[in-house]
Each structure stands twice: as structure tokens, then as C-alpha cells.
Amino acid sequence: MEGEDLAQALEKVRPGQESTKGVAHQRLDDIRLASVSCYHFLGLLAHGSLNRRRDRLAETYGTGRGGNYSIFLDTSSQDKVLEPNAVLVVGFRLRRINSNRGLHWIFRHICIISTPIWSGFSGYRVKLWMVDYKTENYLGVYEWAGANNALKYVEWLGRLLRSLSTKDSVWYELYSNERLVTYLNEHRVNVLSSKQSS
């Protein structure tokens, strides 16, 4: 499933063939998944299992799809799920704010408020929030416990991102049995972002 286009992976039927009832059911299921995540988030928060890391901020990495992405937020968790590591990479371009740098600055400073709706998914370990400052494209690089857990999450996330992003900009790559440190070492760009303070 590595390098699979998210739209192809998620759309099991042609556009227009889904019934209104089916779409409504999917939306309710997505809300349920987000609600369960929020519930687990409260438990993680109570046990001090959620953390922010600052030593990797502004480090820059490339992808096989082009662009240099710099870390602007680094969060982690530990929910005691014991499964082999997997790395999940998700790319997207936000639709409504386009190339407005002021709105992108605001987004990068408030996006952490979304933590409850995704950090409670089973197996979440690390999320690196990244941006290509030249294109304003975004990247989420995750370490997950269990590739199946990562896939369940990205199927939910993909439906959310497609409603917020420009057409065909959402994609993902899933690397089973790989550690985040290995992925980062292989994709490091030997420059620090000049936007560290952004």
C-alpha cells in the first residue's frame, strides 16, 4: 500500500453511486470515531501520556513526491499498544486559505487544538506537523503501533482532509515495519528552515 493515492484507496465506488443513506452513515461513523478518540484523549491527558517535543522543530525533510518540509509541531503519545512500528506519511493542500501566508501562519499556530479528535486512535505514537514554506503544502509524518491501526486512522483522516483540501492534493504512503527515526534519516535535507520562528 506504499505510495497508494488516497483517493484511489478510499473510493470503492464511482462518484455519484453512493447512496445518500450510505454517505450519512459514513459521516456518523466518522463522528463516532472522532468521539472515541476524544474519550481516549482525556485518559491519555490524565495519565500524562501526551507530550510535545521541541528539539526537532525546523528540521527539514524531503519526499519522493518533491518539496522540502519543515517540522513546526512535534507531538507524541503512549497508549501501550504493542504492535510492530509503522510510518504513515500524509500530504495535503488546504483549499480555502490557498496561498494566504497570514492564514497559514494562523493555521500552524492553532492546529494543535485538533489533537483530541485524532490522538486517541489506537496505536498513535508520534505526529510531526510539517510544511513546505515555498508551496504552503502540508505533511503529517506519523509513527504508529501497527500498520492496520495506521490504515484505520488514515481512512478516517482521508475523508476529513478531502473535504478541506484542494482536489487531488490528498495522498498517503504507509511503511510497515519501519521506525520513524529510520524514515527521517533517509529523507533528511541538510538545511535548517529559515522559517523556524514562523
CA quadruple 95, 31, 158, 160: dihedral, nearest 10 = 0
Identity of residue 108: R
CATH classification of the domain holding 146: 3.30.70.100
Q: Is residue 198 part of a domain?
A: no
Residue 84's CB is within 10 A of a number of other CB atoms, namely 12
Tens of pLDDT, residues 89-131:
999 999 989 789 999 999 999 999 999 999 999 999 999 999 9
Q: Which helix H or strand E contains 160, and what residues bound it?
A: helix 147-164
pLDDT-derived band at 11 (thresholds 50, 70, 90) equals: very low
Go through the chain and tell me how many residues it has: 198
For residues 13 and 7, the model is more confident at: 7
Q: Is residue 99 part of a domain?
A: yes
pTM over 0.95: no
pLDDT at 13: 39
pLDDT at 98: 79
Give SS3 for 185.
helix
Tens of pLDDT, residues 26-42:
999 999 999 999 999 99
Q: How many domains does the chain have?
A: 1
Q: Is residue 23 part of a domain?
A: yes
pLDDT-derived band at 5 (thresholds 50, 70, 90) equals: low
Q: Is residue 144 part of a domain?
A: yes
pLDDT at 77: 96
Give SS3 for 171.
strand
Helix 20-46 vs helix 147-164: angle between axes, to the nearest 10 degrees? 120
Domain range for 107:
6-192
- Mean pLDDT on 13-18: 45
Q: Is residue 113 part of a domain?
A: yes
In angstroms, the first-to-last Cα distance of the chain is: 34
Q: Is residue 20 part of a domain?
A: yes
Residue 184 near residue 106 (C-beta atoms within 8 A): no
Tens of pLDDT, residues 131-189:
999 999 999 999 999 999 999 999 999 999 999 999 999 999 999 999 999 999 999 99
Q: Is residue 161 part of a domain?
A: yes
Q: Is residue 66 part of a domain?
A: yes
